[in-house]
Structures are given as structure tokens and as C-alpha cells.
Structure 1
Amino acid sequence: MEKHLEHKFVKELEDNQNIVHKICRLYTNDQDSHNDLFQEITIQLWKAYPKFRGDSKFSTWMYRVALNTAITLYRKSKRSIKTQDFEGVSFKIASEEYDNTEEKQLSLMYSAVKELNDIDKALVFLYLEDKNYKEISETLGISEVNARVKMNRIKDKIRKILNP
């Protein structure tokens, strides 16, 4: 692939890497698995990048690829995420450390969300990222009405998990 495409991809990934970190946090339980999933999502994003037409924002497209990758790998392994080697690509991405020390209140929320099924997790994640129902429905491939109904049911589930 041409250098221009590579530089553009790296810039977009650096600007939006917190999306991937948050998805990794939802679908993994330890730092090694988090790092492995981050790497696998990055590989899948790079492989799919030439097909990105720009019909949507890069971040919306990134959500879709990252969530699909995480869900697929999670379903395959159920506990441990396996990665694949991707030789031939050597670009450096300046990594931000994901700081979870300031998330004491959110840790309860994350543990409740982890009890949800894969699609519900993805919906909650997009909702917490302030995505509107149109963006959520486009990212997950469901109708806006379905997204709203599912979100209301998920809120009830989370309330029951947090307040048994």
C-alpha cells in the first residue's frame, strides 16, 4: 500500500485510539488480553482501511470494525483472545496509556455491562460514547426503533444488576 495511505491511517488511528481502548476494556479482563485485542483490532482496521470509502466518519467506521472484531474473537474464545501475526507492516503508533485509576465509579458500571450479551455491550458502549440512535443503528446494523427499545431494556437490566 502506498505511504500516503499508511500515514493517513496512522494519524486517524492515533486520533481515535481511545475508542479501541474502551472496546478492549469491555471485552477483556486483564492487560495482556487488552493489548492482544488492541493489536488484533488494529490489524483488522488496517486490512479493511483500503475499503473505507468515507461515506461515514472514520470514528463511526472504526467503531463498527472494532466491535465486530471484539465480538467475533470473544465468541470464538469465550475467555482468551488469540491474535495473529501480521508481517509486512511496520508502522509505529504513539500509544496513550489508558488510565483507569480515575474510574472507581465506572468500575461498577463496567462490571455490570460485562454481564450483558455481546450486542447489548456494544449498544451500551456506543450509548455511553454519546452516539445518537441513528449512529448506533448504523454501526450495529439494526433499526433506530430496535436500538431505542434494546437500550431501555438494557437500562433495566443494569439497574437490576447494580441494585439486586
Structure 2
Amino acid sequence: MKNELEQNFVELLEKHQNIIHKVCRLYTNNYDAHNDLFQEITIQLWKAYPKFRGDSKFSTWMYRVGLNTAITLYRKSKRTINTQDYDGVAFKMKSEDYDDTEEQQLKILYKAVHQLNDIEKALVFLYLEDKDYREISETMGISEVNARVKMNRIKNKLRTILNP
């Protein structure tokens, strides 16, 4: 039973690992911090996986755990991500090399997004991932109307940052 659970988790994680990379890109500024946060999110996903009931899509659940982990660590460490060891998991996963070249055209936008607060970053991230407001509200745990209002305010804030 445990091997099947582990195998399912690893397959889903490999399939959706770019979600974690994108969260890491949003909340870190260097390669080592990116890898540390990736590892920490993976650990938190593994710890929470047995409780995943399938009420939402795996990717939606993964966004929620990943964003919550990043926000929690970001707030605790004041921009320095510390990770914890977790020796209880022995699974191995093929990891794609993170290729930053695909996101170079978004460099200016990411720089502006880094100036937003944690919740605003998460909303922008989900918006840029083409999530509809229903899925954004489910992931963030807010109402759909609140997600729309916050997103409109964030767009105006980003316009001000990008066009001073």
C-alpha cells in the first residue's frame, strides 16, 4: 500500500513539478534558494499527500500547498529560506533541470511582482497561470468576488510600478 501511495505521488509530482519551479521562481532570487524551496515544498506535499482527498484537481492542491509553504517560509525567514531535513522519505524522482531562459522575457514583470506582498504575488502567479477566478478563489481560500477585486487592484499597482 505504501509503495503504491509513494509511486502515485512521485508520478504526479514529476508530471506537475513545473508548478513548484514557478512558485520557487516567484519567491526566491538565486539557484540555491530555489532548490531549497523546491525541496521544502516537495517535503510538505509528501507529508500532506495521504490527506489529499481529491476534492480538487491535484494541480490546484499542489498550488495551494506550494504557495502556503513558500509564503510561510518567506515570512518566517525574512527572505532567507531555511529548509528542514526529512529522512523519512526514501523515494527518488527524476528532476527536470530548471531552464530559466524560457522566462527571460518576463524578467521585468517578475522584478515588479517581487515588490508585491506575499498574497499579491500568489494571486498574480495564479492569474499568470491562466487560472480562472473560481480556481484562484479555491486555491487562495477567498471568495471569487474578492479575488477579482484584489486582482484589479494588483494590476493597477503593477502598472504604477512598471510605469512610474
Task: Identify the residue that residue 25 of structure 1 maps to in structure 2.
Answer: 25
In 2, Cα distance between equivalents of 1:59 and 1:68: 14
Structure 1 residues 6-53: Cα deviation after superposition (integer angstroms, max 9, x where no partner): 000000000000000000000001000000000000000000000000
Matches of 2:35 and 2:93, distance apart in 1: 13
In the other structure, the counterpart of 1:14 is 14
- Determine if the alignment matches structure 1 residue 90 to structure 2 residue 87: no
The one-character-per-residue Cα deviations of 1:129-150 (angstroms, maximum 9, x if unpaired) are: 1110000001001110000011
Counterpart of 2:148 in structure 1: which amino acid? R
Distance 2:36 2:100 in 1: 18
Instruction: In structure 2, list runs of 5 or more residues that go unmatched.
Output: none
Q: TM-score under structure 1 normalisation?
A: 0.98
The answer for unaligned runs of 5 or more in structure 1 is none
The normalised TM-score by structure 2 is: 0.98
Secondary structure at the residue paired with 2:97? Answer: coil
Q: Distance in 2 between matches of 1:154 and 1:83?
A: 30
Distance apart, 1:90 and its partner CA: 1.2
Residue type of the alignment partner of 1:93: M
CA distance in 1, matches of 2:38, 2:103: 20
The match for 1:56 is: 56
| Code of the aligned partner of 2:151 | M
- Name the residue aligned to 2:5: 5
- For residues 64-103 of structure 1, the aligned pairs below 5 Å read 64-103=64-103
1:111 corresponding residue in structure 2: 111
Shift of 1:79: 1.6
Q: Equivalent residue of 1:122, what SS?
A: helix
Q: What CA distance in whole angstroms lies between the structure 2 residues aligned with 1:102 and 1:67?
A: 21
> SS in structure 2 opposite 1:54?
coil
AA paired with 1:150? K
Residue 36 of structure 2 corresponds to which residue in structure 1? Answer: 36
Identity %: 77
User: 4+ residue runs of structure 1 moved beyond 3 angstroms?
Assistant: none
